[in-house]
C-alpha cells in the first residue's frame, strides 16, 4: 500500500467493519507492518472489538431476515465504530487503513458496511481495503498464533463448510465443500426442531452435555464417497425422524438431550472423516517437504467442544498440529476483518483507491484461485457466510 499515512511505519492501525450477516461489528487493531511470523512473539493486536448481535431483532422469525438485518446495521454501524474508536483511545487520524467486508454475505448488510467505509475513507483520506469474509475467517488464526503459511483450514460457519489449503494471504485452494447444508446451518436447524432458542449451535451444545452419544445409530454421510466434500442433509433427516418417533412415545428432556448429543457427535465425526481425507491430499501437496503440518478450525462451529476434541484426536493420530483460535474470534467480528486487511497490506495486495471505491457488494465471492471454479455453487446455502 503506497498511502502516505502508512509509509515506513513499523506498526499499522486498522479499523475493521463487518456487516455481512446478523452481527454489526467494528474493531481497531494495531499490528506489525511486516510479516516476520517465524521470529515474532505474537502480541495481542486487538485494541477494541465491538460486536452487536441481532439475535433479538430476528427472534420472532426463526432465522435472519435480510431486510431487518440491513436496517439494523444502518441504525447501529456508526455508533459501533465510534465505540470501537473510544475504547481503543483512537481518532480517525490514527487509522492507517479501513478494512471492510465486501462479501460474501447478505447483500443489503454488506452494502451498509461498504458504503460506510467508503464514506469514512473519502472524508478522512484513509485507504480502503475490501476484504473477503471467508479469507478473514481463514486468516484469523495468525492474529493470535505464530503460524506460517501454508496451513489447512476447516472453515465451519453458518453459511459455509469448506476445507481450504491456505498458501498465502491471497492464495487459497479449496479441497472440499458441502453439497447441501453448512455445518452451522445444520446445528441451527436441529436446535430449532429441538425447540431451542437462538443461537441454535451453542444451545444445542449445552443440551447435548447431559445426553448420551451412543443411544442412537446415526448415518455416516458420504462414507462410500472419496474426497473431502461434506453433506449434512442425511443427518438432519435422521435426527428429525428420531425426534418425531420420540415425541410419539412421549416427549422428555432426556430423549432430546440424547438426540442432541448423538447428532453433535455424528456431525463432529463427519467433519473429522472428511478432514482426514484432506490431510492426505495436503501431504501430496507438500510433496515430502519438511514443513510443519498445521490444521486450523475457523468459523462459528469451531467454538464447539465436541468438534474440537474429535478433530484433535484425528489430527494427533496423523501427526498434525491442531490450532483453534479463541471462540470469540471464531464467530463473526470486526477484528478478523481488520486483520485480513493487514495481511493484504503485507502481501501488497491492496487494490488501487479508484478500484476499491468502485467496488460493489458481492453476495457471492468464492474464495478459491482454482480456475475450474466451485464445483457445487460455492457451498453457501444459509444466510451466513
Binding site for ligand KG4 (CB under 6 A): 21, 157-159, 184, 187-188, 199-202, 205, 299-301, 303-304, 331-332, 384-385
Q: Which partner in ligand KG4, Zn ion, none is near 113 (CB below 5 to 8 A by kind)?
A: none
| 182 vs 242 by CB, closer to ligand KG4 | 182
Q: Is 319 exposed, middle or buried (0-12, 13-18, 19+ CB in 10 A)?
A: exposed
How near is the Cβ of 217 to Zn ion at its closest, in Å?
A: 33
| 185 binding Zn ion? (CB under 5 A) | no
How near is the Cβ of 184 to ligand KG4 at its closest, in Å?
A: 3
| 157 vs 262 by CB, closer to Zn ion | 157
- With beta carbons less than 8 A apart as the criterion, state whether 74 and 112 touch: yes
At 15, phi and psi to the nearest 5?
-100, 130
Which residues lie closer than 8 Å to 209 by C-beta, 6 or more apart?
257, 261
| 76 vs 380 by CB, closer to ligand KG4 | 380
How near is the Cβ of 38 to ligand KG4 at its closest, in Å?
A: 28
The residue from 6, 157, 161, 213 that contacts Zn ion (CB under 5 A) is 157
- With beta carbons less than 8 A apart as the criterion, state whether 19 and 73 touch: yes
How near is the Cβ of 338 to ligand KG4 at its closest, in Å?
A: 16
How many whole angstroms separate alpha carbon 43 and alpha carbon 79? 28
How near is the Cβ of 263 to Zn ion at its closest, in Å?
A: 22
| 180 binding Zn ion? (CB under 5 A) | no
- With beta carbons less than 8 A apart as the criterion, state whether 112 and 73 touch: yes
The residue from 332, 342, 366, 367 that contacts Zn ion (CB under 5 A) is 332
Cell 415425541 belongs to: 247
Binding segment (CB under 5 A) for Zn ion, from list 152-160, 221-229, 230-238, 352-360: 152-160
C-alpha cell at 184: 452451522
How near is the Cβ of 153 to ligand KG4 at its closest, in Å?
A: 13
Measure the CA angle with vertex 356, ends 378 and 100; round to 5°: 65
- With beta carbons less than 8 A apart as the criterion, state whether 230 and 178 touch: yes
| 368 binding Zn ion? (CB under 5 A) | no
Residue by residue, DSSP assigns 203-242 as HHHHHHTTS-SSSSPPP-TTTTS-SS-B--HHHHHHHHHH
Q: Which partner in ligand KG4, Zn ion, none is near 303 (CB below 5 to 8 A by kind)?
A: ligand KG4
Q: Which partner in Zn ion, ligand KG4, none is near 211 (CB below 5 to 8 A by kind)?
A: none
Amino acid at each position: 500500500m503506497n498511502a502516505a499515512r502508512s509509509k515506513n511505519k513499523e506498526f499499522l492501525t486498522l479499523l475493521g467493519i463487518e456487516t455481512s450477516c446478523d452481527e454489526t461489528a467494528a474493531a481497531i487493531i494495531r499490528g506489525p507492518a511486516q510479516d516476520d511470523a517465524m521470529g515474532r512473539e505474537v502480541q495481542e493486536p486487538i485494541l477494541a472489538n465491538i460486536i452487536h448481535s441481532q439475535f433479538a431483532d430476528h427472534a420472532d422469525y426463526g432465522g435472519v431476515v435480510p431486510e431487518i438485518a440491513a436496517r439494523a446495521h444502518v441504525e447501529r454501524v456508526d455508533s459501533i465504530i465510534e465505540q470501537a474508536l473510544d475504547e481503543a483511545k483512537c481518532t480517525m487520524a490514527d487509522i492507517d487503513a479501513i478494512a471492510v467486508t465486501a462479501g460474501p454475505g447478505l447483500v443489503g448488510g454488506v452494502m451498509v458496511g461498504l458504503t460506510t467505509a467508503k464514506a469514512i475513507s473519502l472524508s478522512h483520506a484513509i485507504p480502503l481495503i475490501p476484504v473477503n469474509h471467508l479469507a478473514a475467517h481463514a486468516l484469523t488464526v495468525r492474529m493470535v498464533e505464530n503460524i506460517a503459511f501454508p496451513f489447512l483450514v476447516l472453515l465451519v460457519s453458518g453459511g459455509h463448510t469448506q476445507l481450504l489449503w491456505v498458501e498465502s494471504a491471497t492464495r487459497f485452494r479449496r479441497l472440499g465443500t458441502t453439497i447441501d447444508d453448512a455445518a452451522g446451518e445444520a446445528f441451527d436447524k436441529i436446535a430449532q426442531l429441538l425447540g431451542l432458542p437462538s443461537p441454535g449451535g451453542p444451545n444445542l451444545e449445552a443440551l447435548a452435555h447431559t445426553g448420551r452419544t451412543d443411544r442412537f445409530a446415526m448415518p455416516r454421510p458420504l462414507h462410500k464417497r472419496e474426497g473431502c466434500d461434506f453433506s449434512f442433509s442425511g443427518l438432519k433427516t435422521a435426527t428429525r425422524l428420531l425426534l418425531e418417533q420420540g415425541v410419539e412415545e412421549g416427549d422428555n428432556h432426556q430423549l432430546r438431550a440424547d438426540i442432541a448429543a448423538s447428532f453433535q457427535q455424528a456431525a463432529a465425526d463427519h467433519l473429522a472423516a472428511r478432514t482426514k481425507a484432506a490431510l492426505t491430499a495436503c501431504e501430496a501437496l507438500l510433496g515430502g517437504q519438511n514443513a510443519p503440518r498445521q490444521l486450523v478450525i475457523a468459523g462459528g462451529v469451531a467454538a464447539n467442544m465436541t468438534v474440537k476434541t474429535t478433530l484433535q484426536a484425528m489430527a494427533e493420530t496423523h501427526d498434525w498440529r491442531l490450532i483453534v483460535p479463541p471462540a470469540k474470534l471464531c464467530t463473526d467480528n470486526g477484528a478478523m476483518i481488520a486483520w485480513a486487511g493487514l495481511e493484504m497490506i503485507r502481501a501488497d495486495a491492496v487494490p488501487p483507491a479508484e478500484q476499491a471505491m468502485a467496488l460493489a457488494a458481492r453476495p457471492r465471492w468464492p474464495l478459491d484461485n482454482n480456475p475450474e471454479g466451485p464445483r457445487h455453487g460455492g457451498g453457501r446455502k444459509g444466510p451466513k457466510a
